[in-house]
Chains A and B, each alone.
Chain A
Amino acid sequence: MARREVPLGLLYSVTGTYGAIGRDAQDGAMLALEEINSNSDSPVVFRVFSEDPGGNIDAYHRICETMLRRQGCQHVVGTITSLARKEVIPIIEKHDALLWYILPYEGFEACENVIYTGAAPNQHLLPMFAHLLPTYGKRVYLTGSNYVWGWEVNRIARELIQAVNGDVLGERYLAFDDTDVGRMIAEIEQKRPDFILNNLIGTSSYAFLQAYHELGLRDPDFLPEKRPVTSCDLTECELADIGTDAARGHLCSSVYFEAVDNPLNHAFRAKLTEKYGAERPLSAFLVGGYAAIHMLAQAIAESGTDDIEPVKEALFSRTFDTAMGPIKIDPKTNHAALTPYLGRINEHLGFDIVLAEDAPVPADPYLVEFDAHEFAATVAAKRRGSAASHLKVVK
């Protein structure tokens, strides 16, 4: 059987501020690419073009254009930040190619030329806040890195907090790579929020968690059991950079944790151990990169072409079993239905799953289904303990 050779762009910053995330996404993708290319039964063989923008926003457009124009790629898997995604979308649209975006993001986008397999706010922030507000309280401090992710996620958080008549005690931002977290910590110490939403990324986030840990050592009122730091984009791959002491006990929302119990996840753990050793943690990005490549390969195999319209049709027509659980792409939004989890960081730099949705939740990128009164009622009911939240308690 003649195998179809398909050019594919891999566009991840594996160095720079958020290099740890890029390395996981890229390694996950590469693992799948090696499996597919070495499998002589696969009707597809990928010719991979990979280049590292190094977290430099000005490099994305040029690299992406080279992939599309010179190397003939119709599919590009990549970008970590929304800034980078927005940077390449115009050129992806111009060439009518398809971008595979696997990260959680802030929503309010449904581009015909993007497949979104990461979580939208109704799959990360909303289920997390539906648990945090009744459990820890309604006085919240918001932080973030100075770009669209933090701005928009914090704006949605403000809306949720206002819906339950809570208080935003502060909202502060740091530039990329800025580790001067003293002012935030001082403000938190003074205002004593019930919990903190951390939308800082990379080194800023690590510095913040380390400084918060020191605050907790000085004053046990700031231990994670009492006032946790919570986030929607922190995964296993960054915990070592934060350190066990500073990371332990804090909470994160994700559509995947290594602790997710299903046979495909166990099999994926075995594959990764064989390639990188047992010490390498899994993460939503490793699993997400791996799953995206397999979904693409299967869609190309089924449609017999890498043209994006037939590939999208093949993609929309079925459910994919992955280590994250079943994934279905909604043709209405190009977004994946995903299962939200809430995890607590444990002393082994992994997550214990605290809460899990019963079933995959369809993405609602424009929050069309959001209803502030309904949200407030859910939170109030949970607070009274009279009705169970739609999230079931795992542990």
Chain B
Amino acid sequence: MSPFHTPQFRGRKALILHRHGDATRRLTRQLERLGMSVECHWPDFPSGGESTDVIFFDADNGFDGLFPWQPGTAPMPLIALLGSELPSRLEWALAQGTSAHIVKPVQSSGVFSALVIGFANFARSNEVQDTIAGLQGRLASRAAVVRAVVRLTQASKVDEDTAFACIRSAAMDKRITVEDYCERLDKTRLAELVHRLLRTTSANQPDVPGKSWFSE
């Protein structure tokens, strides 16, 4: 069984965007206990604040323009400090891309778990964003793949599944994605594919077994 490593925040930088008071005092104390360095600012976003590891922000009084980036694009986890539960405030906090929250009054318990959950959600959200970006790219290339399959079926008189299997095999040989291969399909490559098909169909074996692209 792989252990859940003790979450470690030693040496990390935290920025608190909240007016000074009991909330910031308690939060700072708890963050320092976790080995973090802390800066408090309100209402101006400090210069250099972009390089902090995590931001705690006042969700009750936060305003558009508090952060120097577009809503939802924070380069670090954002943790909301919530007193009010008004839907308008929750809507604003969510729009910033909040990864976790702490309910006011801030107490010593709750800070550690908000950090752990906030960092985990932020990392996960980034992973999902990367995956989506990759998939969107592939989706955009779908027309190129269709065009390539059609060109190959016309040039070689094989069916679509055989043509796709051949393209996939050729892309694998070049260690690039099918989409990238199809985007760059020129006359030379098409000729290579036709030649490849002639070799494999003469052996009467599709060169790449597996699921058909068209029946996916």
Chain A residues engaging chain B, CB cutoff 8 angstroms: 89, 93, 108-112, 155-156, 158-159, 161-162, 168, 171, 332-333, 365-370, 372
Closest chain B residue to A142 by CB distance?
Answer: B1
With A159-B6, A367-B8 known, 9 other A-B pairs at CB within 8 A are A89-B109, A155-B3, A155-B4, A159-B3, A159-B5, A161-B3, A162-B3, A368-B8, A369-B10
Q: Roughly how many angstroms separate A273 CA and B82 CA in the complex, as a whole number?
A: 56
Check A168/B33 contact, CB under 8 A, given A111-B109, A368-B10: no
B1 touches A110 (CB 8 A): no
Among B2, B10, B108, the one with the most A-chain Cβ atoms within 10 Å of its Cβ is B108
CB distance from A309 to the nearest CB of B (A): 13
Question: Which residues of A sit under 8 angstroms from B6, Cβ to Cβ?
Answer: 156, 159, 366-367, 370
Q: Roughly how many angstroms separate A262 CA and B78 CA in the complex, as a whole number?
A: 52
- Per-residue CB contact flags for chain B residues 103-126 toward chain A (1 = under 8 Å, else 0) read 000011100100000000000000
Closest chain A residue to B9 by CB distance?
Answer: A368
Check A368/B34 contact, CB under 8 A, given A93-B107, A155-B3, A158-B1: yes
- Per-residue CB contact flags for chain B residues 1-40 toward chain A (1 = under 8 Å, else 0) read 1111110111000000000000000100010111100000
Q: Roughly how many angstroms separate A89 CA and B6 CA in the complex, as a whole number?
A: 23
Q: Roughly how many angstroms separate A168 CA and B2 CA in the complex, as a whole number?
A: 10
A109 touches B109 (CB 8 A): yes
B3 touches A333 (CB 8 A): no
For chain B, what secondary structure do more than half of its interface residues adopt (helix, strand, loop), or is it mixed? Answer: loop
Question: Which residues of A sit under 8 angstroms from B33, Cβ to Cβ?
Answer: 110, 332-333, 365-366, 368
Q: Roughly how many angstroms separate A328 CA and B5 CA in the complex, as a whole number?
A: 30
Question: Which residues of B sit under 8 angstroms from A367, Cβ to Cβ?
Answer: 6, 8
Among A155, A171, A368, the one with the most B-chain Cβ atoms within 10 Å of its Cβ is A368
> Which 10 pairs between the two chains have the least Cβ-Cβ distance?
A158-B3, A368-B35, A159-B3, A367-B6, A368-B10, A111-B108, A162-B3, A110-B108, A112-B108, A366-B34
Question: Which residues of B sit under 8 angstroms from A111, Cβ to Cβ?
Answer: 107-109
CB distance from B67 to the nearest CB of A (A): 28
CB distance from A151 to the nearest CB of B (A): 11
Question: Which residues of A sit under 8 angstroms from B3, Cβ to Cβ?
Answer: 155, 158-159, 161-162
Q: Roughly how many angstroms separate A156 CA and B108 CA in the complex, as a whole number?
A: 22
A–B complex contacts, Cβ < 8 Å, 21 sampled? A93-B107, A108-B112, A109-B108, A109-B109, A111-B107, A112-B107, A112-B108, A155-B3, A155-B4, A158-B3, A159-B5, A162-B2, A365-B33, A367-B6, A368-B8, A368-B10, A368-B34, A369-B10, A369-B35, A370-B6, A372-B5
Closest chain A residue to B32 by CB distance?
Answer: A332
Closest chain A residue to B30 by CB distance?
Answer: A110
